Amino acid sequence: MRFDASDGSVFQNTLGSFRDYIMLERGCSDNTLKAYASDLGQWYSHCKRMGSDPMLLNPDNIARFLREQSARGMSKSTVQRNAAVLNSFARYLVYDGITEKMPILDPLPARDRILPQIMTEGEIQRLINCCEDGTPLGKRDRTAIELAYGTGMRASELCSLKLKDIDRGGGLIFTRGKGDKERCVPYVGGVRKAVDEYIDDHRPKLDRYREPWLLLTKSGRKMSREFLWRLLRKRGNQAGISPSRLHPHVLRHTFATHLLRKGMDQRTLQELLGHSSILTTEKYTHLDLEVRDLYDKFFPRSGT
């Protein structure tokens, strides 16, 4: 018997409950929630075309859906993500008592491995040198680049950084990452010098509206992620670096790679990056002296 999927109220209501569940229990970001909603919306559309119940996640239906996604030209990583989202949704249905058991999925092809791009220390220095024009905007750009490379913070974290989040005496920055998890990272050496100089001498010339944000635009407003991306491309062009290689996450990848090459252990690096895989419940409310000392020892610009 074919299922009439024209009325998706049950599925939509369950989807709303699932969204609340993963937001509260797992601390998913808005972007993750949107991705889940999009993937499950595609699953619903598939079931509607096939006349099958989207609440019945049986292996045959799921396999057919994933094959359809592959046939549409979706990458292996996207198909893997679709499968992971359906798996999470199925677990929720069992958790909520809507279904009794999990579907058993056939193994999926391995995801395409995409190696993150990184920059050399020489390229980083060229990028920083391009900002040395003596202007408030140049000092701001240097501060943004120094922080992105020197702390490994995400673009969203950098743009949301407030003056009150910076412990200038202790050389620590407090930030909130994915899932609203708080952590703190050290900023030392050349990074600290750039930040302090910008705050004391140049940011006041941009702060027309008494904004709380560290990084301000020429008009004195909060810097957006898109603005930060354009800033990096502009400075990269001046430094002779291909624009395709420059976005804030490249500096985060470079930060991590350079520290690993210098010998930092992965667990300490995960703390600095704010990866929840260390302990999902950890809030990163403080950074002990051992981690700070390791950072100071291994980070290439800590003594400059």
**Residues forming the active site:** 154, 178, 249, 252, 275, 284
| Cα 187 from Cα 255, distance rounded (Å) | 13
Contacts made by residues 192-201, CB under 8 angstroms, sequence distance 24+: 194/139, 194/142, 194/143, 194/146, 195/143, 195/146, 195/147, 195/166, 196/168, 197/139, 198/139, 198/140, 198/142, 198/143, 199/163, 199/166, 199/168, 201/139
231: its two tokens: 């800033």
Angle between helices 266-273 and 248-261 (to 10 degrees): 160
